Structure 1
Amino acid sequence: MKRLIPMRRRIEFRLAAALMALATVFALAAGWMSYRHHLPDARDAAVGQALEIARTMNYAVETVASGTALERFVLTVAANPRIRAIALTSADGDRVVASSRLAWQGRSADDLGTTSIGRWLSHPLSGDSETRWRPGHGEAVAISRLWITDPVSPIAETLADGRVVVVMDASELIGRARKDALINAGWLTATVLAFTLLVFLLVRRELMAPINRVYQALKAQQAGESGRAAPETGSPEIRTLAQTVNEFFKLHQRIDRYRQVFEDLPVAVARIRIGNDGLHIDANPASRERLGIDVARITDLRTLQALFVDAGQRRALTRDLREHGMVRDREVLIAPGGDAPQRWIAMAAHLAHRGGDVVIDVVAEDITAHKEAMQGLNAERDRLRDIADSIPGAVYEYRLMPDGSERFPFVSDGLRTLLGLSPEERTDDPRILWSRVLPEDMEQMRTATRQANIGPPSDWHAEFRVRTGEGIHWLFGHAVPADDPGPGQLFRGVLIDITERKQLEARLERAARHDTLTGALNRAGFEPLLERAMATARRYDRPLSLLLADLDHFKAINDRFGHEMGDRVLAHFAEVMGGRLRDSDTFVRWGGEEFIILLPETGADGAWRIAETLRQTVAESAFPTGERLTVSLGVATLRPGDTVKALIRRADAGAYRAKRAGRNRVGAPPSGIAATGTSAH
């Protein structure tokens, strides 16, 4: 801390000198004012005496007997040493009739213009008399008109309406005024000096002693005795001064603490001031110790800008400071210079304009290690993401929140491929997935989700269909609950496209239930269907019939043309029969050349007519062998108590009877309907 106030003696000396100077100025001012006060008295006395002598001359002229007597009287009066000149002029003012100097008599005013009285001889009068005060010449002048009412001599008649001029020497009166002024000033000066001395002693006791105690406290503070404060005693003003000093020292202590904190901060703090006098930087030691920046080397904007490795980062920082006045959490790469390596820093800055200067306050922290660690983590994250993206399907994290909302904290890019999403579409919202699930599969999805979250979380798995730009795809999802501190429940799982597997399963399912040659339903697929159809017919009391068709002489075709031709004949037969059936009918290859046709909602008569129509259609069709072929059919209608085997057995019996009756016919016709057809032979 620097010295705050001068020493006590210097203060006392300056106070005494100031009081003496004030007393001296006051005494001089008082003397001058006293002189100015007595000077009018001297003027009035001198002018009055001159005017009185002029009036005496007027009386003497009126009573004088001759010019000689008048001259003697004038010379007698002018013998007074305080009278400098007397002159009497005629009425026309052309000549001096009598004067205190014989050389002036008989001369005109113009001849005496250079003398002390000449200017007053021709001076115009505005009244009967005038006076003039000339302190610079030390004289008073009285000019009076001669009023001669009863002249007793010729000389009096000559001077009638003339003028008399009297010039008095006022030096004595002026000197007396000065003397009186000096005496008064002396007394007043002595009084003021005595009063000043009393004031000084009083100030010394009431002001200087308390101030000295304050000063001693300040000296103790300078010496490091931070606990000693200025005594807050004495007059209210001194107490206020002591309080102000104590507050100032407390403020100074706080400033010292702030500066110590500023210097001990583990981050770099700097103030950059840019003005007309150049660039100035005030920075704490961490700027050099932690960032390697030597502030002394930064002397202008060019060296300041050279700190930034990336000019784009510098321009962006400058632009944001100009537009917003502040930047936060900005990461930039700097090159401190010298042997210091490049460093990544996180910085915040504030820009302000003060007194025409640009002031930028900066806080910066070295994040090089953090940046390198983050780069390593990002590389590892990218590697793991690449692995996740290379896995067929999509890897994801799904979080179900306590309020029922849901989101994907993580999902690999495979979801875009699965759902056919564009690069612009989001993948973090599960609703993107749910919106593409077919409505008929949504319920099982929600059911699986509820079951996985009932009680302790359990595995979730589901197979469902989604609609994409390429059509309908099957997806398989499997997720397991994760132990996670976040809100709600987190699942980690995978989605896989199983469309090809589902298509294969569908083909296998069809192959298992359909005849590969004709495409008709086979025995394994038909029996469950027939059971359901019989149950439905009984439940709703509806008719149900069944036809069994047996291709005539098929063995001969195989023998003559071979099995390949036989297969072609069977496929053609299935095509012909299927072309004549209703949408509700079912065509079945029962075995070899035997086929079954299931006819729902059809009674015995209707079944007979359909059978006859099919027989005729086959008989009229051209087959690959180039020959006409025929078919024998049996008809069976559902009866109470029928089983699947019983119903099929009756139809088979009808076909057998048709064969025994000559083929190319419908066997066991119901009453009222004659059998038709001819033998194939």
Structure 2
Amino acid sequence: MATVSHIEGFEKLRLLDAAIEQARHAVLITDADLDEGPCIVYVNAAFEQMTGYARSDVLGKTPALLQGPRTSRVVLDRLRAALESGGDFDGETINYRKDGSTYMVRWQVSPVYAEDAPERITHFVSIQQDVTEERARDERLRLLSTAVEVSGDPVMITDPSGTITYVNATFEELMGVARSEVLGDNPRRFKSGRQDDAFYRVMWQTLERGETFRGEFVNRRRDGSLVHLEQTITPVLDDRGRISHYVALGKDITDRVRMEDEIRRVAHTDWLTGVANRLSLGNTLEAEIERCQRYGRPLSLIMFDLDHFKAVNDRYGHEAGDEVLKSLAQTVTAELREADTLGRWGGEEFMIVVPETRLVGANALAEKLRQAVAAMNVPGVPSVTASFGVAELASGDSAKLLARRADEAMYQAKQAGRDRVVAL
């Protein structure tokens, strides 16, 4: 009659056999004959599923039947050395299924010692796992990580609260910071103040809805200079559909913005004096007239012209004349309010749009400017003077009519002896 301990022993063996047979990972057991084998004495169902071999195909054969041209000889040599020394082995290589297809396998091999002779190895147990998909995923992640790191555009990743978890090398170079300085920090450290709270409020509302936000950011580098970024920020969702990170991909458009600004400046600025050109000045005048007429506000116009400027050019040369015009623009600009607009109307003739100002105030300003011009000092050129005409916007005036009255007032100043102000 079987004892209780025997029954328990058989039950344990049965449970152990069932556990190995139903294990998710492949199990392969060989004998310890390293001269002829080792030979396979057991494989479980997971091994059959992984390799395509039935156990009847492999029992009594060596695991070499799983090897092929792409199996790493280096890994096999390490395995052999571990088996001969009686040590454990952990490694990966490419194996071949019965149909000839390949898979990446991870082996964990351990020796089994005899109960009656602890120094004698009787078997080797190999736990095997098909890691083909895992390694392919690792390779994709490696390639993606490399591509992001070497990208010519700046990349930044934050957690849902906005804490920076990654920046690439281009970001470091562009912003003038080392990643060790910014990891754990917040992107707000780069804010320039050029965008208002409404801009960032819309950004966060878009991102928190799980939508991509695209916008132009004006950030500040470490050295204080500005960088313009055309940026796309995309929420990354986890397996539960919750936002786990934000990925910001940027494109440095600083040079483009600078070029566009320069084009606009050239289109609206007089090339010599740097003040508004005739087109820009005309647009400003029309806009101010429309505004003042809509809200019933005053507006005045000052027109002035250098006296005897042709004589300056004829006697001292056009370069000296250009210096006079530049000095004139600088002198007059220094006396104006921010709301006033000075422009070159043509040749040596200039115009000033003076909003929120009636005739008496514009007349006083013109007199101050006349004195400033007369006191102007241009090296190599004697003092110059200017004649000023002033007109105030009347009901129903167009830009053309207002400019005509200012021009008429200036003409009267010329006729009256120059270097004076006439208001109409």
Residues 1:409 and 1:624: Cα distance change in structure 2 (over 3 Å): closer
> Counterparts of 1:334-353 in structure 2 under 5 Å?
345=107
1:423 matched to 2:183? The reply is no
Q: 1:527 aligns with which of 272, 278, 282?
A: 282
1:505 matched to 2:260? The reply is yes
Structure 1 residue 498 displacement after superposition = 1.4
Contact 2:167 2:179 in 1 (8 A): no
Structure 1 residue 605 displacement after superposition = 2.2
2:215 equivalent in structure 1: 462
Which residues of structure 1 form unaligned runs of 5+?
A: 1-217, 222-244, 270-283, 309-331, 335-342, 349-361, 671-681
- 1:655 is paired with a residue of what secondary structure? helix
Q: Deviations over 1:475-509 (max 9, x none)?
A: 10246899997615798773111122222222222
Q: 1:629 aligns with which of 365, 384, 387?
A: 384
Which residues of structure 2 form unaligned runs of 5+?
A: 30-40, 44-60, 64-75, 93-104, 111-123
1:436 equivalent in structure 2: 190
> Counterparts of 1:149-164 in structure 2 under 5 Å?
none
- 1:577 is paired with a residue of what secondary structure? helix
State the alpha-carbon separation in 1 of the partners of residues 415 and 295 from structure 2: 37
Letter in 2 for 1:423: R
State the alpha-carbon separation in 2 of the partners of residues 646 and 347 from structure 1: 99
Q: 2:127 aligns with which of 347, 362, 365?
A: 365
Q: Deviations over 1:366-394 (max 9, x none)?
A: 45x63x87666545544443333333323
State the alpha-carbon separation in 1 of the partners of residues 162 and 125 from structure 2: 40
> Counterparts of 1:661-676 in structure 2 under 5 Å?
661-667=416-422, 669=423
2:11 equivalent in structure 1: 254
State the alpha-carbon separation in 2 of the partners of residues 250 and 595 from structure 1: 114
Contact 2:164 2:187 in 1 (8 A): no
1:598 equivalent in structure 2: 353
Residues 1:537 and 1:507: Cα distance change in structure 2 (over 3 Å): same
Higher relative contact order (CA 8 A, sep 6+): 2
Contact 1:393 1:494 in 2 (8 A): yes
> Counterparts of 1:270-349 in structure 2 under 5 Å?
304=87, 345=107
State the alpha-carbon separation in 1 of the partners of residues 383 and 162 from structure 2: 69
Structure 1 residue 451 displacement after superposition = 5.9
Letter in 2 for 1:636: A
Contact 1:549 1:632 in 2 (8 A): yes
Contact 2:164 2:182 in 1 (8 A): no
Residues 1:449 and 1:421: Cα distance change in structure 2 (over 3 Å): same
Task: Give the greater-gyration-radius structure (CA).
Answer: 1
The TM-score with structure 2 as length reference comes to 0.65
1:96 equivalent in structure 2: none
1:557 matched to 2:319? The reply is no
- Comparing 374-383 and 550-559, the one that deviates more: 374-383
The TM-score with structure 1 as length reference comes to 0.43
1:587 matched to 2:349? The reply is no
State the alpha-carbon separation in 2 of the partners of residues 446 and 511 from structure 1: 35
Structure 1 residue 519 displacement after superposition = 1.4
- Comparing 487-496 and 640-649, the one that deviates more: 487-496
2:154 equivalent in structure 1: 394
Number of paired residues? Answer: 354
Letter in 1 for 2:179: P
Structure 1 residue 570 displacement after superposition = 0.9
Letter in 2 for 1:393: D
Residues 1:365 and 1:394: Cα distance change in structure 2 (over 3 Å): farther
Letter in 2 for 1:660: Q
Structure 1 residue 470 displacement after superposition = 2.6
Q: Deviations over 1:430-469 (max 9, x none)?
A: x833553345345234435656888xx8764211212331
2:414 equivalent in structure 1: 659
Identity of aligned residues (%): 31
- 1:463 is paired with a residue of what secondary structure? strand
Structure 1 residue 635 displacement after superposition = 0.5
Q: Deviations over 1:396-425 (max 9, x none)?
A: 78898xxxx678998644344444443225
Letter in 1 for 2:219: V
> Counterparts of 1:14-93 in structure 2 under 5 Å?
none
- 1:424 is paired with a residue of what secondary structure? helix
1:414 matched to 2:174? The reply is no
Residues 1:534 and 1:364: Cα distance change in structure 2 (over 3 Å): farther
State the alpha-carbon separation in 2 of the partners of residues 505 and 253 from structure 1: 86
State the alpha-carbon separation in 2 of the partners of residues 425 and 524 from structure 1: 49
State the alpha-carbon separation in 1 of the partners of residues 211 and 82 from structure 2: 62
- Comparing 658-667 and 247-256, the one that deviates more: 247-256
State the alpha-carbon separation in 1 of the partners of residues 182 and 159 from structure 2: 16
1:574 matched to 2:329? The reply is yes
C-alpha RMSD of matched pairs (Å): 4.6
Structure 1 residue 569 displacement after superposition = 1.8
State the alpha-carbon separation in 1 of the partners of residues 127 and 415 from structure 2: 106
State the alpha-carbon separation in 2 of the partners of residues 570 and 295 from structure 1: 91
2:371 equivalent in structure 1: 616
Residues 1:642 and 1:434: Cα distance change in structure 2 (over 3 Å): same
Greater helix proportion: 1
Structure 1 residue 634 displacement after superposition = 0.3
Structure 1 residue 583 displacement after superposition = 4.3
Letter in 2 for 1:512: A
Letter in 1 for 2:272: L
Structure 1 residue 604 displacement after superposition = 1.9
Residues 1:346 and 1:657: Cα distance change in structure 2 (over 3 Å): farther
1:642 matched to 2:397? The reply is yes
Q: Deviations over 1:148-205 (max 9, x none)?
A: xxxxxxxxxxxxxxxxxxxxxxxxxxxxxxxxxxxxxxxxxxxxxxxxxxxxxxxxxx
Q: Deviations over 1:300-355 (max 9, x none)?
A: xxx64xx57xxxxxxxxxxxxxxxxxxxxxxx559xxxxxxxx965699xxxxxxx
Residues 1:347 and 1:449: Cα distance change in structure 2 (over 3 Å): farther
Q: 1:515 aligns with which of 264, 270, 288?
A: 270
State the alpha-carbon separation in 2 of the partners of residues 259 and 384 from structure 1: 43
State the alpha-carbon separation in 2 of the partners of residues 432 and 612 from structure 1: 55
Residues 1:474 and 1:380: Cα distance change in structure 2 (over 3 Å): same
State the alpha-carbon separation in 1 of the partners of residues 237 and 419 from structure 2: 75
State the alpha-carbon separation in 1 of the partners of residues 331 and 83 from structure 2: 103
Letter in 2 for 1:251: E
Letter in 2 for 1:597: I
Contact 2:389 2:413 in 1 (8 A): yes
1:475 matched to 2:250? The reply is no
Contact 1:631 1:664 in 2 (8 A): yes
State the alpha-carbon separation in 1 of the partners of residues 315 and 81 from structure 2: 108
- Comparing 544-553 and 441-450, the one that deviates more: 441-450
State the alpha-carbon separation in 1 of the partners of residues 280 and 81 from structure 2: 90
